[in-house]
Structure 1
Amino acid sequence: MRNLLTFFLKHQFFSLFIILEVISFAMLSNSYSYQRMLRFHAVSDVSGAVYEAFHDITGYFHLKEENRQLLAENGRLNNMLLASMLAPDSSFRQTKDSSYLYIPATVIRNTVNHTNNFIMLDKGSKQGIQKEMGVISDKGIAGIIIGVSPHFSIAMSLLNMHARISARIKKNDQLVNVIWNKDYGMDGEVVDIPAHIQLQKGDTIVTSGNSFIFPAGLNIGVVSQFEKSKNNSLNKAKLQFSTDFNSLHYVYIIKNLDKQEKIKLLEEAANE
Structure 2
Amino acid sequence: MKNLLTVIWKYQFFFLFILLEAVSGFVLVKNSYYQGSVIINSTNGITGNILKTYTNINDYFSLGQANQILAEENAGFYNILPGSFIKTDTNSFIFNDTLYRQQYRYITAKVISNSTNRRNNYLKLNKGKAQGIGKEMAVISPNGIVGQVIEVSDNFCSVMSLLNINSKISVKIKSSKQIGTLVWNGENYRTGTMIDIPSHTELLIGDSVVTSGFSHIFPEGLYVGNVEGFRIRPGDNFYTADIKYSVDYNRVYYVFVIQNLLQDELIELEGAESKY
TM-score w.r.t. length of structure 1 = 0.72
Structure 2 residue aligned with 1:69? 69
Report which of the two structures shows the higher radius of gyration computed on alpha carbons.
1
1:226, CA displacement in angstroms?
1.1
Structure 2 residue aligned with 1:88? 97
Paired amino acid for 1:144: Q
Contact 1:82 / 1:100 at 8 angstroms: preserved in 2? no
Contact 1:195 / 1:229 at 8 angstroms: preserved in 2? no
Runs of 5+ unmatched residues, structure 2:
1-58, 87-95
Structure 2 residue aligned with 1:148? 152
Paired amino acid for 1:67: N
Number of aligned pairs? 210
Contact 2:105 / 2:259 at 8 angstroms: preserved in 1? yes
Identity rate, percent: 41
Please give the alpha-carbon distance, in whole angstroms, between the structure 1 residues aligned to 2:233 and 2:208.
20
Please give the alpha-carbon distance, in whole angstroms, between the structure 2 residues aligned to 1:88 and 1:104.
25
Structure 1 residue aligned with 2:231? 227
Please give the alpha-carbon distance, in whole angstroms, between the structure 1 residues aligned to 2:154 and 2:244.
34
Map 1:1-272; keep pairs closer than 5 Å.
61=61, 63-81=63-81, 85=85, 87-90=96-99, 92-93=100-101, 98-271=102-275
The superposition leaves residues 37-91 of structure 1 with CA deviations (integer Å, 9 ceiling, x where unpaired) of: xxxxxxxxxxxxxxxxxxxxxx97572101101111111222244699474321x
1:254, CA displacement in angstroms?
0.5
Runs of 5+ unmatched residues, structure 1:
1-58
SS of the residue 1:183 aligns to: coil
Contact 1:167 / 1:207 at 8 angstroms: preserved in 2? yes
Structure holding more helix per residue: 1
Backbone CA RMSD of aligned residues = 2.2
Paired amino acid for 1:239: I
Moved more, 203-212 or 224-233: 224-233
Contact 1:198 / 1:226 at 8 angstroms: preserved in 2? no
SS of the residue 1:217 aligns to: coil
Please give the alpha-carbon distance, in whole angstroms, between the structure 2 residues aligned to 1:85 and 1:174.
24
The superposition leaves residues 133-161 of structure 1 with CA deviations (integer Å, 9 ceiling, x where unpaired) of: 11000011000101111111000000000
Paired amino acid for 1:136: I
